[in-house]
Structure 1
Amino acid sequence: MTAGPNASGPAPTRTPVDQPSASFAVQPNLVDYRQVYSEFSWDHARQALSGLPDGRGVNIAHETVDRHAAGPLAGHDALRFVRTDGTAHAFSYAELAEQTGRFASVLQRLGIERADRVFSLCGRIPELVVAAFGTLKNGSVFCPMFSGFDPEQGRQRLKLGSGRALVTTRALYRETVAPVRSELPELVQVLLIDADGDPDPGTVDLVALMREAPPYGDIVAMQSEDMAMLHFTSGTTGPAKGVVHVHEAVASLYVAGLYALDLHQDDVYWSTADPGWVSGNSHGVITPLVHGATVLMVEGEPDAERTYSVLADQRVTVWYTTPSVLRMLMAAGPALAAAHDLRALRHVASGGEPHDAEVLAWTQETFGRPVHDTWRQTETGGIMLANFPGSPIRPGALGRPMPGVQAAVLVTDADGRFVLDDAGDVILVTEPDALGELAFRAGWPSMFRGYLRDDARYRRRFVGGWYLTGDLVRRDADGYYWFIGRGADPAEPAPGRGGSGRAPSATR
């Protein structure tokens, strides 16, 4: 059932694009969706991760880097940096473990402690990855920022997050941070990636410190609910919010890589998302490294020619991109695509907005595979809905719920807000193709654990054990979800509405 003026309307297009699993060069990790979904358990998923030695807890840096460095993948490429001139430099898992350990040692020597916030402000460069996992090894919290922020946007996030250290370049420091440094008394260390022996006043030379740093020792033992990352919302509809994610999130990111991105250890993986945002950090770096794949870090903002060149020259097998990049390639015409060997590419996925049948047909013709839409938010920490490899694709659909994720459509009123019954409970839509608000049963591991310094806002995102997304959707008879538009902001107070009044806990 549903309510409101948008309750009726044409049902979504249901014409599926079938992908017989036998047609794949590599057997998909998920073939029978219904069976995998019904049999899934988070406890079983966690068993694929090793945890810290001697049962000392969990740390994302161990699951992504050090456990591979200590095993058969030690010499395997973990990170491959592709410069604007096309040259590339690779870091093995063993080398990445050594570099991140040195960074953690630098933090320790500078007095950056467990739970301190370490920010990054840099583009797509290897130093960002080293800083991320070195921060986590030290038990500190990694806080990536988009390199395109202006001084006020940077100041807001550094102040809200109580940033103690910042990793950045000389140019970005001078442009974005130096003008507001006096307003950030908690920022005690600025580490310049490119100081070249001559750091600006109030900064230190990271390269020199890394050269002198001793081995770090054991990774700091963290518990699953300890804060690992602080991501920030875009701030387009109000002040930016600090979104808290914990070390337990790595279990969700592993499952997303397994099923939505279909990752295998011999994959070369490229995400075009900026690592200053949650998708570029979580699914751009953490997810593929958990699976022991090779991550491409491509410098700059590639145009159509360079995008095709990277895909071909680096033999990319799994590509996670955005609708804007695909539209750029479409506009460049078929001749440019035909000039590059794209046969290595076996899986293309996208997030940000659903694609129509035209884009789906274009990717099928250009890459030999359709694009698979996914859905996530900063607050969800990872992919929640996906069109899975090996399963039929619905052109324009967001997809079906990830294994381990329970989705629902809530009845809404004319303003797009959820409706409560006489007992004060939400009402779930049961019939297909009825409009309502997309919601998820609280408890998946990458679910955010709070808005920094705004507990009331966090509580309003939940009602009756459901996380409110604010997106209006329809669910068809086969369980595919279709985006219709944005509803009311679920975090804003409204008469007769509110959250559950308590923060939900993660699934154990």
Structure 2
Amino acid sequence: MKVIHKSARDWRVTPNLVDYDRARASFDWRDVPDVCAGMGAGLCNIGYAAVDRNAEGSAAARTALRFVSGAEGEGELTIHDLSYAELGSFARRFTNVLRSLGAGKGDRVFTLLDRCPELYVTILGALRNGSIVAPLFSAFGPEPVETRLQSGVANVLVTTKALYEKKVAEIRGRLPALRHVLIVDGDQRDGGDATRGFWPLMDAEDDDAPIEPTTADDPALLHFTSGTTGTPKGAVHVHGAVTMHFITGLYALDLHPEDIYWCTADPGWVTGMSYGVIAPLVHGVTSVVDEGVFDAERWYRILESQAVTVWYTAPTAIRMLIKAGAELAAAFRFPKLRFIASVGEPLNAEAVWWGKQVFGLPIHDNWWQTETGGIMVANTPAFDIKPGSMGRPLPGVDACVVHCDEDGTIHLVDEPDIEGELALRPGWPSMFRTYLHEEERYRKAFRDGLYLTGDLVKKDGDGYFWFVGRADDVIKSAGHLIGPFEVENALTDHPAVAEAAVIGIPDPTTGELVKAFVTLKDGFSADEHLRRDLLAHARRRLGAAVAPKAIEFTDALPHTRSGKIMRRLLKARELGLPEGDTSTVERGAKPDLRSVAP
């Protein structure tokens, strides 16, 4: 295996985490700086840590959010900056808006917005108020919106006139807890109308709004994560999670105060909230917010024109940039870019090397879940990179590989390179505290003092973790347990393949056969010659027992709206089975790259 070795010559700034072993050995959560110390002893609030302390300190005049809009392609980009002081003033005014409406601590404030300034003002003002923030992705259809508003018992919704009329108006009568709907482009302040204007209410308030005295254990965020079947799970996170956002922003994303940072995820998903809103603001950096949709040339133009230094994106986006061709990337220069990280699904080795070729930087994969609330396993700037690996557990994170017997007994896997389930020892600050209305389901996620993630992994002799697949995705063929990602990784290493998804299909002899669905890069034809070439390529890489026995070419793979390939949907369609929860399926030909959802 080729390893990308790192030395001080590779650093454009000295990383925040240099001596990994020493940091892990000495790490204690009690030693992490208290980013809420200014609130007083025993108090903690994400809004205070993200905005108040910067708006009232030395970072007040620094740009907090840089909104990028305008024409795609070669058109000019329009920039609108909000300083920390301005953002703080708006957030305080929205806190007063909520109080004027009778919405207080513990009330649920939902957002259904594109990435506009009002989204960030709502999130931060509601957190300051002690309200629970539940962001929804604006591309959801009426059914998933209704499901989440009902399950989350929404009290306040902030949205636009068009989104309200299209996705909420008809279901409003089925949402008895929804007392107020605020329209960011509306002009109705109060009265008998079903909605009120966001800005008329804001204009009526001043920015003198003392922060609600919340503690680290008070609920702050409600994130929905889709299950294989049934309704989405609502994971509840607390204000104390901000400690994790701070330390992972420091170690995993290597944020420094002078950085220009771009997280491409939408705040309607947990990545966009944790690392598109909270972590960069806590660190006082300038965040780029792209209000447009994915376009390869536009993204390159933003990276170049905004002098982005740290970029956090998704494997699907990277693969689409690869598909757009190296020639497009070569038309731009990125002299300030010093660190690229990726999350959302496993990053194949080819994409890591592509980053080094195009940007002069490898792409650093990391791993976490909605339930963990923050990055757990990562490749940091000072690490040697093993392309295809998730990296190593961050300081303060205790991760292991386990086997679970049929009787429920947990066994720790001590030997390297043995597949098992990834388990985490509770104690990190951003661990979810419950599944909303599903306490039994929450309890089942923990066993023998461990949180069981449901992800199958291997750990090598150097402590690097390697993703194998979700427990439900593993293929059992002729006595072999085959992780789909291993097969997909081999296929995407072929120069013709843009994306691959692998499932098991029933076979009377072997139990299951490995079948791959493949999309091709531009310039390649889906013919029998290429099919045979791909089968041979996979056999050379993986061996006959693991390589796919069938390959089907397709124009597009089913993705969630956050970019994850939905293998279980492919399997359901292949076998004519029920499709289960499809509320997060991207209906178009490609995923919506405004979002990333671990």
**TM-score of the superposition, structure 1-length normalised?**
0.89
Q: Is the 8 A contact 1:121 1:144 kept in 2?
A: yes
Q: Which residue in 2 is equivalent to 1:89?
A: 80
Among 215, 230, 235, the alignment partner of 1:243 is 235
Spell out, residue by residue over 1:338-360, the C-alpha distance to the aligned partner (whole angstroms, 9 max, x if none): 11121111100001222233211
Residue 37 of structure 2 aligns to a residue whose secondary structure is coil
Q: Is the 8 A contact 1:104 1:216 kept in 2?
A: no
Spell out, residue by residue over 1:437-471, the C-alpha distance to the aligned partner (whole angstroms, 9 max, x if none): 00000111000000011110000000011000001
Question: Which of 1 and 2 has higher RCO (CA within 8 Å, sep 6+)?
Answer: 1
Spell out, residue by residue over 1:8-59, the C-alpha distance to the aligned partner (whole angstroms, 9 max, x if none): xxxxx5x3211213321111111111111111111111x2524343326010
Among 9, 13, 16, the alignment partner of 1:29 is 16
Residue 70 of structure 2 aligns to a residue whose secondary structure is coil
Residue 164 of structure 2 aligns to a residue whose secondary structure is helix
Spell out, residue by residue over 1:162-220, the C-alpha distance to the aligned partner (whole angstroms, 9 max, x if none): 11000101111111111110100110100001114599940000011111112242111
Among 175, 178, 185, the alignment partner of 1:194 is 185
Spell out, residue by residue over 1:37-88, the C-alpha distance to the aligned partner (whole angstroms, 9 max, x if none): 111111111x252434332601001111110111110100111111133101
Among 405, 409, 420, the alignment partner of 1:436 is 420
Q: Which residue in 2 is equivalent to 1:322?
A: 314
Distance 1:198-1:130 versus aligned 2 partners, 3 A rule: closer
Q: Is the 8 A contact 1:51 1:59 kept in 2?
A: no
CA distance in 2, matches of 1:27, 1:125: 34
Distance 1:235-1:217 versus aligned 2 partners, 3 A rule: same
**TM-score of the superposition, structure 2-length normalised?**
0.76
CA distance in 2, matches of 1:207, 1:315: 32
CA distance in 2, matches of 1:176, 1:251: 36
Residue 427 of structure 1 aligns to a residue whose secondary structure is strand
Q: Which residue in 2 is equivalent to 1:166?
A: 157
Q: Is the 8 A contact 1:384 1:405 kept in 2?
A: yes
- Larger deviation, residues 194-203 vs 353-362: 194-203
Alignment RMSD: 1.6
Which amino acid is 1:145 matched to?
Answer: L
Q: Which residue in 1 is equivalent to 2:223?
A: 231
Q: Is the 8 A contact 1:434 1:474 kept in 2?
A: yes
Distance 1:391-1:291 versus aligned 2 partners, 3 A rule: same
Q: Is the 8 A contact 1:419 1:427 kept in 2?
A: no
Among 453, 464, 478, the alignment partner of 2:437 is 453
Matches within 5 A, 1:111-190: 111-190=102-181
Q: Does 1:472 align with 2:467?
A: no
Distance 1:115-1:333 versus aligned 2 partners, 3 A rule: same
CA distance in 1, matches of 2:202, 2:4: 51
**1:406 Cα deviation from its structure 2 partner:** 0.1
Which amino acid is 2:43 matched to?
Answer: G
CA distance in 2, matches of 1:52, 1:245: 22
Distance 1:317-1:48 versus aligned 2 partners, 3 A rule: farther
CA distance in 1, matches of 2:36, 2:9: 32
Matches within 5 A, 1:305-384: 305-384=297-376
Q: Does 1:254 align with 2:240?
A: no
Residue 235 of structure 2 aligns to a residue whose secondary structure is strand
Among 394, 407, 419, the alignment partner of 1:402 is 394
Q: Does 1:278 align with 2:270?
A: yes
Distance 1:328-1:418 versus aligned 2 partners, 3 A rule: farther
CA distance in 1, matches of 2:287, 2:407: 41
Which amino acid is 1:90 matched to?
Answer: D
Which amino acid is 2:69 matched to?
Answer: R
CA distance in 1, matches of 2:36, 2:188: 40
Distance 1:208-1:435 versus aligned 2 partners, 3 A rule: same
**Aligned structure 1 segments of 4 or more residues deviating by more than 6 angstroms:** none
Distance 1:418-1:373 versus aligned 2 partners, 3 A rule: farther
Which amino acid is 2:258 matched to?
Answer: D
Q: Does 1:51 align with 2:37?
A: yes
Q: Is the 8 A contact 2:353 2:387 kept in 1?
A: no
**1:236 Cα deviation from its structure 2 partner:** 5.0
Distance 1:84-1:235 versus aligned 2 partners, 3 A rule: farther
Residue 209 of structure 2 aligns to a residue whose secondary structure is coil
- Larger deviation, residues 242-251 vs 349-358: 349-358
CA distance in 2, matches of 1:54, 1:468: 36
> What is the aligned-residue identity percentage?
50
Which amino acid is 1:427 matched to?
Answer: H
Q: Which residue in 2 is equivalent to 1:72?
A: 58
CA distance in 2, matches of 1:472, 1:53: 41
**1:427 Cα deviation from its structure 2 partner:** 1.1
Q: Does 1:60 align with 2:46?
A: yes
CA distance in 2, matches of 1:50, 1:205: 32
Q: Does 1:38 align with 2:25?
A: yes
Residue 288 of structure 2 aligns to a residue whose secondary structure is strand
CA distance in 1, matches of 2:283, 2:229: 35
**1:110 Cα deviation from its structure 2 partner:** 0.8
Q: Is the 8 A contact 2:237 2:431 kept in 1?
A: yes
State which structure, 1 or 2, has the greater radius of gyration over its C-alpha atoms.
2
Q: Is the 8 A contact 2:90 2:207 kept in 1?
A: no
CA distance in 2, matches of 1:404, 1:452: 27
Which amino acid is 1:101 matched to?
Answer: R
Q: Is the 8 A contact 2:257 2:284 kept in 1?
A: yes
Which amino acid is 1:99 matched to?
Answer: F
Residue 248 of structure 1 aligns to a residue whose secondary structure is helix
CA distance in 1, matches of 2:457, 2:232: 25
CA distance in 1, matches of 2:188, 2:227: 36
Q: Which residue in 2 is equivalent to 1:20?
A: 7
Equivalent residue pairs, number: 467
Residue 186 of structure 2 aligns to a residue whose secondary structure is coil
Q: Which residue in 1 is equivalent to 2:383?
A: 391
Unaligned segments of structure 2, at least 5 residues: 72-76, 474-598
Among 481, 486, 492, the alignment partner of 2:465 is 481
CA distance in 2, matches of 1:120, 1:226: 20
CA distance in 2, matches of 1:106, 1:238: 36
CA distance in 1, matches of 2:132, 2:12: 40
